[in-house]
Chains A and B, each alone.
Chain A
Amino acid sequence: MNLLTFLDGASSGPSSGVEAPDLEDLRSVTEDVWMALVGEADPLLPRAVPAGAPFDAAGAWSAATTITGGWRGVVTVELDEQVARHLTAEMLAIGSADDVTDGDLADAVGELVNMVGGNVKSLMPGPSVLSLPAVAAGRAAFTHDVQVACRLDLAWRGAPVRVSVHVPHPSPTDPHTGGSR
């Protein structure tokens, strides 16, 4: 494994030179969105995670939104379940994180990715369209026709949060035969 990819909570730069958001812009978007939704009480802190490692929360919620048009990409957020519950309780003014339902989580986590995705869309070439968010109770998985362009690993109250941007892979490879990369 390439040690250079053990970056401090973030990795960026697809190998192919496809246009993608700047990592610092993604960080700034995520922090602004988080602060607006949850307040300043606990900040998002960087978290060191090896490149390529799947999201490692014991329970997770995730959501994705796809951007198509002048630029194509997928923006995904993954949250530790407790983080997702707390975020949801804040956004929907529900008294306790224990009282949030699946429907509440889907609304809140969907809006989170919508806001991050919408801001990413506004940074990339337009005009383009943001899809409705797709939310799942579980971590995200990505097909081989996309590659990670930008990935931010963060912690909120010690629990994992990940925001990533994927772009279409210019030359599809078969991971099992180790084709060209």
Chain B
Amino acid sequence: MRAMIIDDSRAMRSILRRIVTGLHFETSEAEHGQAALDQMRAGVVPDVCLVDWNMPVMDGYTFITEVRSNPEWRDVTLMMVTTESEQRQIVRALAAGAHEYVIKPFTPDAIVDKLSLLGLVPAGGVRAGDGVTA
């Protein structure tokens, strides 16, 4: 399974990378939506994208609308991971085609739970103390 982590914060990419590699995902990273799309068009198509909202060049919301408008990428799961926690923002993201939404700050368990909900990880995949830290 491959995860793509799309966030302009190096620290956040580092945190998320550790969580998903702990779940045995291969990972790729991008600093914004445009860079992520470029990778996908070049053939690096992930099973799941963890996408921040606020990024330069192309934000996460726009990235999601772009991915969902391409039938070739129909099976790519899109999970927003963002500080945007207003109800209307979450509704907008889901309406644009995000499959899931995690509000920052999150614990590793929150990410695991959501990936598990999406069928990308066996339920109860990770225990506390399995080496994943926030």
Contact = CB atoms under 8 A, between A and B. Distances in A.
A–B contact (CB under 8 angstroms): yes
B46 to A, nearest CB: 22
A35 B83 contact: no
Contact of B133 (A39, A88, A108, A130): A39
Contact of B18 (A93, A114, A126): A93
Interface stretch (A53-61, A115-123, A146-154, A164-172): A115-123
A134 interface: no
B105 A37 contact: yes
Contacts of B65: none
Interface size class of B (residues with CB under 8 A): 20 to 34
Would you call the interface of chain B mostly helix, strand, loop, or mixed?
Answer: loop
A119 B56 CA distance: 19
Interface residues of A, number: 27
B62 interface: no
Given A110-B9, A111-B12, A122 B84 contact: yes
A32 interface: yes
5 contacts: A93-B18, A111-B12, A118-B84, A118-B104, A130-B83
Interface of B: 9-12, 14-15, 18, 54, 56, 82-86, 89, 104-107, 133-134
Given A88-B11, A91-B11, 14 more contacts: A35-B134, A36-B105, A36-B106, A36-B134, A91-B14, A92-B10, A110-B9, A111-B9, A115-B105, A118-B84, A118-B104, A119-B85, A122-B86, A132-B56
